[in-house]
Structure formats: C-alpha cells, structure tokens
Structure 1
Amino acid sequence: MARILVVDDDPAIRQLLTDVLEMDGYEVSVAVDGLAAVRAVEAAAPDFVILDVMMPGLDGFGVLSTIRDQPGEPVPVLMLTAAAESDANARAWACGVDYYLAKPFTADAVLDVIDGVLAGQVNATDS
C-alpha cells in the first residue's frame, strides 16, 4: 500500500483528501503546516506528497526545497494552491514540483495524478 502525505493548513481539505485517498486504498498521513510536513517526510518516507503552497510558517515552497534536498530517489510532489499570485505556478516549477493543481480542484484530478504516477503510467516530465 502506497503512503501519501497530505500537507494543508485547511482541515476541510485535509479531511477530503484523506477520505478520498483512503477509499482508493492509500495509507494517508497528514501535516498541518510546513514544519510538520518536513518532520513527516523524514519520519514516514511517503511515496507521494500533496502539498499546499500557502501555509503559516514554512510555506509549500520551503517544504518542497527541503524535500528536494534529501538524498535518494525524489518523492513525487503535487502542489495545490489558491494563490492569486501570477508567479506561483512558475515558481513551483522552478522549485522542482512534479505536478501542480489550482484550487478548487476535483478529487478525481488528484487521484488521476497519484494513481498514474504510482502505477508508473505517468512520468514527472509529462505533467
């Protein structure tokens, strides 16, 4: 069973993603902010990370940078954002994100990305 880490400061989004992913057979852990996310990545070694951009403290870009600095095979990261910043998308790609979805998103869109990646059907460069 693949391990997914959901990182979002919005409890409703965390719960929605947790419910959908668990129903799809994934083992889900959650983090409520960037610092908790860094600890969870180090402790749980997830197979995939869903990461909010705008969070208090360490934002998603800081978490992504920390994830990318870790040795070994890079874990795929999907960033979710409601950011109105015009450069958020470009910044995410420049920081090494694998996939990017704007909020509001559909659960099916998230599952399509994760299922495809973890089944080996999608390469990170295909996004």
Structure 2
Amino acid sequence: MLLPHITTDEHGHSLLGEVDLNMEPLGGFGGRDATYFRRIQAATQDVEYWRIGHALPGHFVDFAPTGASTFFAVFSGQMHMTVSNGESVQLARGDMMLAQDIAGQGHMTRFIGQEPCTYLMITMPGGFK
C-alpha cells in the first residue's frame, strides 16, 4: 500500500514522495482476506507517544520538522500539508501518511474544509521498520 511520505534531503529541504507499507496475511485472526502493515506492527515497541488531535478548519501550523518518524491517520475533516519546495498533499477521512522530515525546514499543515479534522498521530523515534 503506497502512502504519502515526507522526508528531508541533505540540505534540510523537505520532500514529498511515497512509501510502500508492505501488507502481509494476518494469520489465524481474520481469515485469508485480512492483512496488516508489517512495518508498523514490527515497530510497536518503539512508540514514543500517540495522540488523537482535533483541529478546526482554518487552523494553521507553520513549517516545522516532526522531530521523529510520525504516522498520521485522518478520521474526519481534511488537512493539507506543504513541503519546502511547494509540493503538497491533501489528506481526508481514511487517508494515512508517514512524515520523516526529522530535521531541516519541515512541513506546514493547514486544516481545511467545512468540518473539524480529527486525526491520529503515532510518534516513533526509532522509525518504522
């Protein structure tokens, strides 16, 4: 499964790309149709913290690095993230993203649309495996 992915180059500029979170069969729990994300599952012991955020449309977070590998999942509303070269990605309900712009300029986040945005952030200093 391809997810939007923010990284930092050697000059401290944030870049937007994609990362493939390999999915594997779950095993005995969900039958042959169930899968899970191997990389996230393998790194659960490295979770520094997680939180559920809630932001109103119009809220703005200026350019800043994440400080650690951070996984985002949007439950409702919309967020729009822009990297230092001007590229951007819009996330809405059901979308996920991995931000690994740990140093440098980081990314900017705007909460857009007509409804509040509720999202999950999982921060993992050891990165996703």
Point out which structure has higher relative CO (alpha carbons under 8 A, 6+ apart): 2
- From the two aligned structures, give the one with the greater helix fraction: 1
TM range (shorter): under 0.3
- From the two aligned structures, give the one with the greater strand fraction: 2
TM-score by length of 2: 0.26
